[in-house]
Structure 1
Amino acid sequence: MIVGQPGSGKSTLARRLGERTGLPVIHIDMIHWQSGWVERPKAQKVAMATEVEAGEAWIFEGGLSRTYDHRLLRADTLIILDLPLWLRAWRVFRRTLRHYGQTRPDLPEGCPERFNLEFWKWIWDTRHTNRAQNLALIPKAGPGTEVFHLTSSKGVRHFVNAIAQATLHRG
């Protein structure tokens, strides 16, 4: 289970971990959005997330806090990406420029990248509350859940390298 604010690197980390472990990767934006940037009804999002969480193994990146408690019960690992606002803002800006007018791989077809002032406002307005919500997951994690609170790009790189090394030694 990977959580973090926009631009923290959730999708990138999930893809890298999926490549190294062979586990299926689920991006919350695939559940949250329908083609044309139409938000799914809440009940449908919860049902879709719950169905994914019932699977044997997965890498689930992103929010939908309504299912956090259930997801935490099923997760063997909780990764919190807690990077500085300036870095996250730069990444969102760079991502927008890189994919402008195109659909990113972690979004449903028909959701082209765009500059969205409401999204930027949401990033700013929720910078403290989302961080607090993510950190509040740590004490909720079960006794067998490994928790990683990563606060820098360097920390994320070290984490990915450690996973790669562990995968090499297992296989």
Structure 2
Amino acid sequence: MASRLNKLVHQATEKTITLASIGDSPRPSMRKIAVFGKPAGGKSTLSKAIARRTNIPLHPLDLIEYEVGGSKVPESVYLERHAAILRQDCWLIEGFGTLTTFRQRLAEADTLIYVDRPMWQHCWWVAKRFVLSPFRKPEGWPDGSPMVRSTVTSWWNLYRGKKIWTCEFRKKIESYAPQKNVYVISSDRDVARLMNDIEDFMQVE
């Protein structure tokens, strides 16, 4: 999964496109980026590629919310860490976290990237991540994460997510445009479009 996405990102950033402004308003900046969505959709790999291209600091929420070994930090510690990141001039936060902090990111971010691939693909990638885990630590996970428990949790979150990652949720995210840059990643073609847009932003800046 990671190698295919990295190859796609590399191919996409070799191209240059011109973005039209939305109506009479200039395109929003791309300095505060929130990446979120269903488990095992390639969020960590995509976020790493974006951070590498933009030089924006990457903050995987799993590394903020969990300690080495997979135990959760106290909520007060997590909230303090999250608030400190939001105070920075630019950031790229990957993950969902708590509902409260998710809403804070929706308000503060200028770019929303919602990863919403077909359900079967998320389920397959959860299984693939588990099979590969003895040889390769999942991107953005703390060292020593309990893979069996985390895999079961991911599948449970996908099942429970049917009530969260709904068409209404997607419409809500899309409604933030044009005040924010909004991308819904459902396929590799969407990844290519996103990376092309990022390339264009980098050339303008």
TM-score for both structures, normalised by structure 1: 0.84
Q: Percent identity?
A: 25
Contact residue 18 and residue 24 of structure 1 kept, 8 A: yes
For residues 113-157 of structure 1, the C-alpha deviation after alignment (integer angstroms, 9 at most, x for no partner) is: x23353144234323123138536527748631111222232123
Equivalent-residue separation in structure 2 for 1:78 and 1:96 (angstroms): 28
Gaps of 5+ in 1: none
Question: Compared with structure 1, are the counterparts of its residues 23 and 126 closer, same or farther at alpha carbon in structure 2 (3 Å cutoff)?
Answer: same
What letter corresponds to residue 45 of structure 1 in structure 2?
Y
Instruction: Give the letter aligned to residue 197 of structure 2.
Output: A
1:87 equivalent in alignment to 2:121: yes
Matched, 1:51 2:84: yes
Q: Is residue 48 of structure 2 the alignment partner of residue 15 of structure 1?
A: yes
Runs of 5+ unmatched residues, structure 2? 1-33
Task: Tell me the residue number matched to 2:164.
Answer: 130
Does residue 160 (structure 1) correspond to residue 195 (structure 2)? The answer is yes
Match of 1:99 in 2: 133
Give the 3-state SS of the residue equivalent to 2:183 in structure 1.
strand
* Structure 1 contact 3–134 (Cα < 8 Å) conserved: no
> Taking structure 1 as reference, are residues 124 and 146 closer, same or farther at Cα in structure 2, changes over 3 Å only?
closer
Q: What SS does structure 2 have at the residue aligned with 1:15?
A: helix
Please give the residue correspondences for 1:110-149 in structure 2 after superposition, counting only pairs within 5 Å: 110-111=144-145, 114-116=147-149, 118-132=152-166, 135=170, 137-138=172-173, 141=176, 144-149=179-184
Q: Any conservation in 2 of the 1:80–1:150 contact (CA below 8 Å)?
A: yes
Residue 77, structure 1, aligned to residue 111, structure 2: yes
Bigger Rg, structure 1 or 2: 2
Task: Specify the SS of the correspondent of 1:83.
Answer: coil
Structure 1 residues 37-93: Cα deviation after superposition (integer angstroms, max 9, x where no partner):
111222222221111111110111110222122222221101111111111111122
Moved more, 76-85 or 149-158: 149-158
Q: Quote the offset at 1:24 in angstroms.
A: 0.4
Count of paired positions? 169
- After superposition, the Cα gap between the structure-2 partners of 1:143 and 1:166, relative to the gap in structure 1 and judged at 3 Å, is closer
TM norm structure 2: 0.71
SS at match of 1:80: strand
- Using the alignment, how far apart are the partners of 2:169 and 2:59 within structure 1? 18
